[in-house]
Amino acid sequence: MKAAILENITIVSGNKQPLKMVDLPVPQVHKGEILIKISACGVCHTELDEIEGRTPPAKLPCILGHQIIGTVVGRGEGAAKFATGNRVGIGWINSACGHCEYCLSGRENLCADFRATGRDVPGGYAEFVAIAEDFAFAIPDIFTDAQAAPLLCAGAIGYRSLRLANLKNGRSLGLTGFGASAHLIMKLVRYCYPQSEVFVFARQENERRFARESGAVWAGDIGDECPQKLHAVIDTTPAWKPVVEALKNLAPAGRLVINSIRKEDADKNNLLQLDYTKHIWLEKEIKSVANVTRKDIEEFLILAAQVPLLPEVEEYPLEGANLALTELKEGKIRGAKVLKIS
């Protein structure tokens, strides 16, 4: 099979090609597993974190990618949940221990043995992948393969972030950054909380324009002061400055939800600008989002089909993965980037 592999930790830039195209054997399926012929795989900022070493793969070389859509073409012994020919998806959660206190309480995203697709095990920048059938998900027919791919992470993590924000209909929400996850959160808010106004902070004018087109009542730069104090803010950026700025714009008892697996160190000095009275006081809260559970993905796919929540996507061939990643790093984003594989 064809695959784009990461051989070394490196910095993504316009003159580098971090991924290499190779031919590899098709994965073997074991007991309880299914083999999936991949048709599409979303490109996520987490892949930049892996390539640049902020959340490095368990071993190298590695096949990245955790927003996978494909068709079941093989089943291991005992696998009966899906039939050959079924369309399924795979997200960031690849497995968890199943018996720790977190798994038993429905918080398998916090399991110490949590393993991630495309980081701890091979992912979707390839033509085939194998996974335990209990960690694959049926995909509603309403979505094309390209539309479904970003729902597996950008959408699911956005859904979890929105739940953790404790938003009520009519209360205001801020979004920092307006890429794959934030534009899906916007669509969810407009459906689930139609009386809530959304304010967007983004460093690129194209992101701000996209936000206004998508329903934001206001869109400004990361450092701009919001026209009103916000009940909640969801930060979808890889930087520290938006965290500080978001806290400044929170109303008393407001909550900041940080929807990011890692933060880059380039602007960490912005944390030194934290002022207790301006940023923390009046019972403001900060909540991080750690991974997703299977329940998050299952619930979100049902809700997304009801809306229906159709992501805006930019498509690339598998051989264009390096270009997609470079554009993502440079902020050339409108919606979600998706690799069309077969």
As its CATH architecture, domain 2-150+292-340 has: Alpha-Beta Complex (3.90)
Separation of alpha carbons 159 and 78, rounded Å: 32
Given a cut of 90, is residue 274 above it in pLDDT? no
CA nearest 319: which of 19, 1, 7? Answer: 19
| pLDDT(342) > 80 | no
Asked if pLDDT for residue 37 goes beyond 90, the answer is yes
Number of helices and strands in the chain (H, E):
9, 18
Which residues, in sequence order, are bridge partners of residue 70?
38, 88
Average pLDDT in the 238-260 region? 95
**Domain-by-domain residue ranges, the chain?**
2-150+292-340, 156-288
pLDDT of residue 105: 97
List, for residues 173-229, the tens digit of each pLDDT value: 999 999 999 999 999 999 999 999 999 999 999 999 999 999 999 999 999 999 999
pTM of the model: 0.94
pLDDT at 248: 95
Distance CA 97, CA 115 (A): 9
Beta bridge partners of 234: 175, 257
Mean pLDDT of the chain: 95
Q: Which fold has domain 156-288?
A: Rossmann fold (3.40.50)
pLDDT for 15:
79
Q: What is the pLDDT of residue 325?
A: 97
Q: Using an 8 Å Cβ cutoff, are 33 and 72 in contact?
A: no
Q: How many CB atoms lie within 10 A of CB 253?
A: 10
pLDDT tens, position by position, 279-336: 999 999 999 999 999 999 999 999 999 999 999 999 999 999 999 999 999 989 899 9
pLDDT of the residue at 260: 86
pLDDT value, residue 272: 74
Q: CA 118 to CA 108: how far, in whole Å?
A: 18
> pLDDT band at 76, cuts 50/70/90?
very high
pLDDT at site 129: 98
CA atoms within 13 A on the CB side of 265: 4
Kindly state the average pLDDT of the residues 252-257.
Answer: 98
> What integer pLDDT is reported at residue 263 of this predicted model?
87
